[in-house]
Structures are given as C-alpha cells and as structure tokens.
Chain A
C-alpha cells in the first residue's frame, strides 16, 4: 500500500502523474476538469426555467453536470434545491426536474434488476433477433471514420471531451444499433470507457431504450432532425451524410424490412 500524491504544481503535472499510474489508459485528458469547485460553478450557472424549451438543441440551457453527478460529487437533491431557487412556481421547472428524475429512475431500475444492465430486458422490436446483430464495434466507428460527416463529428467530440449532448448520444446509439446492426452492448461498453459521466445504469438502459429492448419501438433519426437541432455546428450536406437524408418512412423500410413485410401481411 502506497500513499499517492495529492498536490501538483499545475494540471499538466497531475495529468503526467496519472499517465504514469495507468500507462495502459488510452487517449488524452479532457478539457473538462474534475472536482467539487468545478461542479459548483456549473451548479450556480443552471437555467432550469429556459431548460425546458431549449434542452434538445446543441446550444440549449443544459447543465453539463452529469460527470459530477455520476461521481457523487453533486447529488440530485442539491441540484433540485438549487433549481427551486430560480423559480416562483415549481411548475416552471418541471421539465428540468423530470430530466433529473430520469437518473433517479435508471438507478432504481438497476438496483432492482442488476442483470438488466447488460442483458436485453425485452426482445428487439425491429423484426430482428439478437443474433442478427454484430458483437463487435468496427474500427471506422471507434476512430470517427464512418464517412457520415455529422456522426464522425459527434464521435470526435466524445473521444476528445468525454461529454456528449443527450441528443447526440441518441444519434450515435441509433446509428450503431439500427443503421449498422450492432448489438447495443458493444456500443454501450465503448461509451463507458470514454464518457466522463459513463454510468452503467443511465448509459446501458438508455442504449436499450434506443435499441427497443427496453422501449416500445426503436429510436431512429434523419438528417432533417440533426439539421434542426445541430445544424449550425456540423457539416449537414446531403453529400456527406447521404444515408441519413431520407424520410422516416424510407428509413423504416430500409432499416427494418421485416417489420414492413409483417405490416403488409397484417
């Protein structure tokens, strides 16, 4: 048992020290810093009233508190109490509190059913069986080289910062499971190694929600949707995002042919 250092001249010295402790660990440090002081700064900056109408957009009033929440640095009770100070009526912050509740919900589900964290809760509602999905994540995904401009941009963000907007988590998960037909578990495991907030319950059960093994239908998206919420930031040209440039009807036919076939016979 060895006591480790807890004071450093600067951040780079700390990063070098951690690198020496874990020479096997991949990548670089994120620009997002750990610690209570950073978490409290983000807590003081919350805007829970405007959150409701803006949270789906890339520049929406999201908090970026998740890495601090996941590590127990700041808890949901503290965030809710702070949010209440921003409003005159609790109804003004209901959407915000409801999103906090998603975390509470996923933790409860995992507590009661720890086996659901890695196993399909229900069958896929995609017309495919689990064995139709690949086990392994190909290199073009892990290296942000899928050739789909917006997806590559989001993956790079994940690799560089360890944080993703909720919407881009949904896009990447949907792309992996439905457009590439890969098991959600492979994607979830990869997210957990990168996300600073990587949390078995919130992450894996959300992947199952996208996959449809813990929801009523698969989540899919198209270029129009990405353009609406992230268009200002990303290369949205049809040329560089070809497969996504389709209607939901076209995508359903392309991605879930067995479902469409079944519907025809019903």
Chain B
C-alpha cells in the first residue's frame, strides 16, 4: 500500500505548484489519462493534444485508466491534488474522499482579498486591487 501520492488533474499541470513544496517533496506524482472523463466532457482533439503535449514536458508518470478504479486499486493513505473550482474535478474529488483522505492545495494567491462570497466584479475589484498590484500580492508586507 502506498502512503501518499500527488494526483495532477488537467487543471493543475505544473510541478512548480506549492503542493510540491515540503513536506511533499519527493512524493510520487502522476496524471491519469481517463478516457471516460475526457469523453464525458466532449473535449475535441485540439484540447487533448494540448494536454498531452503539456504532460510530455513534465517529469511525471502518465497512466491510463479510470480515476476511481485506479485509486481503489492503489489504496493510498492520502491523495494530494491542486485546488480547482472546476465542478467535474470537484465531483471526482468528493467521490475519492469517500474512501481516502484527499487534500487540495491552492496555487499562490493573486490577491489577498478574503475569500468571501462575491457577485459583481467591481465590488470585488475595489478590495482586490489593494494587493493585486503588488509583487506576490504583497505577501511580504
């Protein structure tokens, strides 16, 4: 049984993502080429080629299969994966979380605006601009 694994989905194709920082450095990482998932989303060949080309530039394993089945077979203790607002990926994550601990990690913030409910852009922007115009969103202020 594997301890912890990093699962990169198609909305998080980067090995500079904060999830690779300690304590996860060196954790096995892979991408699952899940035909059913792509087919359900009706991705055109253009989209699939773009994803595959991006994967080929990354030092990670690409495995083919059904995401839920692969994780059931592997039985890791924990899955770490990039955060996304994408509803399909979040649906998959919810299903995975029934059998294993799943931790989602966010990319570096664009602004330090509290993650509160927003509806109109300019209301959000009036707060966001205070840090959005600073390097690393003013993290070191």
Using a CB–CB distance below 8 Å, which chain A residues touch chain B? 1-8, 11, 14-15, 17-19, 21-22, 24-30, 32-37, 67, 70-78, 80-81, 84, 90, 93-94, 97-98, 100-102, 104-105, 107-114, 117, 161-162, 189, 192-196, 198-201
Please measure, in the bound complex, the distance between the C-alpha atom of A78 and the C-alpha atom of B110, giving whole angstroms. Answer: 9
| Residue total for B at the interface (Cβ-Cβ under 8 A) | 62
Report which of A36, A78, A107, A189 forms a contact with B54, defined as CB distance below 8 A. Answer: A36
- Are A101 and B47 interface neighbours, CB within 8 A? no
A201: B residues at CB distance < 8 A: 85-86
- Are A80 and B63 interface neighbours, CB within 8 A? no
Please measure, in the bound complex, the distance between the C-alpha atom of A98 and the C-alpha atom of B128, giving whole angstroms. Answer: 9
Please measure, in the bound complex, the distance between the C-alpha atom of A25 and the C-alpha atom of B55, giving whole angstroms. Answer: 18
A-B contact pairs, 14 of them (CB 8 A): A1-B65, A14-B49, A21-B33, A22-B48, A29-B46, A33-B53, A34-B49, A75-B110, A94-B129, A102-B121, A105-B124, A107-B85, A108-B118, A114-B85
- A104 and chain B: residue at smallest CB distance: B110
Q: Is B24 an interface residue (CB 8 A)?
A: no
**Restricting to B89-141, which residues have a CB under 8 Å from any CB of A?**
90, 107-111, 115, 117-119, 121, 124-125, 128-129, 132-137
A15: B residues at CB distance < 8 A: 45, 49
Report which of A21, A36, A192 forms a contact with B64, defined as CB distance below 8 A. Answer: A21
- A111 and chain B: residue at smallest CB distance: B85
Minimal beta-carbon separation of B38 from chain A (angstroms): 6
- B70 and chain A: residue at smallest CB distance: A1
B52: A residues at CB distance < 8 A: 14, 17-18, 34
Please measure, in the bound complex, the distance between the C-alpha atom of A177 and the C-alpha atom of B14, giving whole angstroms. Answer: 36
- Are A97 and B132 interface neighbours, CB within 8 A? yes
A200: B residues at CB distance < 8 A: 85-88
Given contacts A25-B43, A75-B107, A101-B125, 11 further A-B contacts (CB under 8 A): A3-B63, A22-B48, A29-B49, A35-B54, A73-B54, A102-B121, A105-B128, A107-B85, A108-B85, A110-B86, A194-B44
Report which of A26, A29, A75, A94 forms a contact with B108, defined as CB distance below 8 A. Answer: A75
Report which of B14, B33, B48 forms a contact with A73, defined as CB distance below 8 A. Answer: B14
Chain A CB count within 10 A is highest, among B46, B48, B58, B124, for B46
Using a CB–CB distance below 8 Å, which chain B residues touch chain A? 10-14, 17, 33, 35, 38-39, 41-58, 61-65, 70, 73, 82, 84-88, 90, 107-111, 115, 117-119, 121, 124-125, 128-129, 132-137
Please measure, in the bound complex, the distance between the C-alpha atom of A200 and the C-alpha atom of B49, giving whole angstroms. Answer: 19
Report which of B38, B62, B87 forms a contact with A3, defined as CB distance below 8 A. Answer: B62
B12: A residues at CB distance < 8 A: 71-72
- Are B110 and A71 interface neighbours, CB within 8 A? no
With A1-B73, A72-B13 known as contacts, the answer to whether A30 contacts B46 (CB < 8 A) is yes
Minimal beta-carbon separation of B92 from chain A (angstroms): 13
A193: B residues at CB distance < 8 A: 41-44, 47
Please measure, in the bound complex, the distance between the C-alpha atom of A8 and the C-alpha atom of B55, giving whole angstroms. Answer: 12
Report which of B47, B86, B88, B111 forms a contact with A162, defined as CB distance below 8 A. Answer: B47
- Are B110 and A28 interface neighbours, CB within 8 A? no
